[in-house]
């Protein structure tokens, strides 16, 4: 059991960490507002001038920057805060704390939880423009085209989602980023020449199937890779799957592979 001095130091470090994170998030939120205002003004100017090429460049640049900031906030900073909160909870559960120490640890944990919620809000505000404006199907199609543009000879996308289907923003964002990370890993490691993405809806589930002719993983391959890797990519996939209770599976066949991503939709 830690002595009182060590516990006090750990608690103070936790609270200092939360304070620094809070200041950082305020700064990032202000930056986000500036980016949003600048983006809206640029979009308005481009539309008025009917300069379609400039509009496309503006949207693409803004989308890339928003995605980069959102992923760093949610996947890296959010994950670190979650681990810090779990450590504080373990300390509270396993240590013989005095009532005052227990209250201090609980307050620090609550501050971290508030920080996590704020990060989630900012991340949702920073979701890719194309996804936000046109929905999941168009967002996935555009993402797939961008990632396979140079490295693949043939990319196809099909969607059977009902046009009036409403998907919660958090579910849509997590689903999109999981698919994006999967496509990044696929193009980097499997080197396929042909890729087909199929988005389907069978109430209450939405399902994405990625078929390819590259080096394929089996379910056991993926589990081994996940245990051995130290990178954030697979951790981010697993973390986001947990957030929306999504199931991810891999199948390997002769000369081709399949990746399935399935999650259930919840409706208010």
Residue 175 pLDDT:
92
On the question of pLDDT at 207 being above 90, the answer is yes
On the question of pLDDT at 268 being above 50, the answer is no
Residue 160 pLDDT:
93
Residue 41 pLDDT:
78
**How far is CA 150 from each of CA 51, 53, 83, 177, rounded to the nearest angstrom?**
26, 20, 38, 21
Q: How sure is the predictor about 115, in pLDDT bands with cuts at 50, 70 and 90?
A: confident
More confident residue, 4 or 188: 188
Q: How sure is the predictor about 51, in pLDDT bands with cuts at 50, 70 and 90?
A: low
Give the whole-number percent of the chain exceeding pLDDT 90: 17
More confident residue, 246 or 65: 246
Residue 203 pLDDT:
87
Q: How sure is the predictor about 215, in pLDDT bands with cuts at 50, 70 and 90?
A: confident
Residue 123 pLDDT:
64
More confident residue, 228 or 146: 146
Average pLDDT across the chain, whole number: 77
pTM: 0.55
Q: Is residue 267 exposed (0-12), middle (13-18) or buried (19+ Cβ within 10 Å)?
A: exposed
Closest by CA position to 12, among listed 77, 75, 91, 78: 91
11-45 per-position pLDDT tens digit? 777 777 777 777 777 777 777 777 777 777 777 77
CB 71 within 8 Å of CB 124: no
Q: Enter the tokens of residue 137.
A: 């199907």
Q: How sure is the predictor about 220, in pLDDT bands with cuts at 50, 70 and 90?
A: confident
């Amino acid at each position: 059991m830690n002595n009182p001095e060590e516990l006090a130091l750990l608690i103070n470090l936790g609270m200092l960490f939360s304070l620094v994170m809070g200041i950082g998030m305020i700064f990032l939120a202000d930056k986000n507002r500036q980016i949003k205002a600048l983006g809206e003004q640029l979009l308005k100017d481009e539309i008025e001038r009917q300069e379609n090429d400039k509009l496309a460049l503006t949207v693409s640049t803004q989308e890339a920057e928003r995605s980069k900031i959102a992923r760093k906030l949610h996947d890296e900073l959010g994950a670190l805060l979650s681990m810090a909160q779990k450590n504080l909870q373990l300390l509270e559960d396993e240590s013989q704390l005095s009532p005052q120490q227990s209250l201090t640890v609980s307050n620090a944990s609550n501050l971290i939880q508030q920080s996590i919620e704020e990060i989630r809000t900012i991340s949702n505000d920073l979701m890719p423009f194309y996804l936000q404006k046109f929905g999941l199907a168009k967002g996935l199609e555009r993402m797939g085209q961008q990632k396979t543009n140079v490295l693949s000879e043939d990319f196809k996308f099909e969607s059977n989602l009902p046009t009036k289907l409403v998907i919660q923003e958090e579910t849509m964002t997590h689903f999109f980023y999981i698919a994006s990370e999967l496509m990044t890993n696929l193009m980097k490691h499997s080197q396929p020449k042909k890729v087909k993405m199929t988005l389907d809806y069978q109430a209450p589930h939405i399902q994405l199937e990625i078929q390819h002719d590259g080096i394929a993983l089996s379910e056991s391959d993926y589990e081994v890779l996940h245990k051995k890797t130290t990178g954030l990519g697979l951790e981010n996939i697993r973390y986001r799957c947990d957030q929306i209770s999504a199931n991810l599976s891999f199948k390997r066949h002769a000369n081709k592979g399949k990746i399935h991503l399935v999650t259930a939709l919840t409706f208010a």
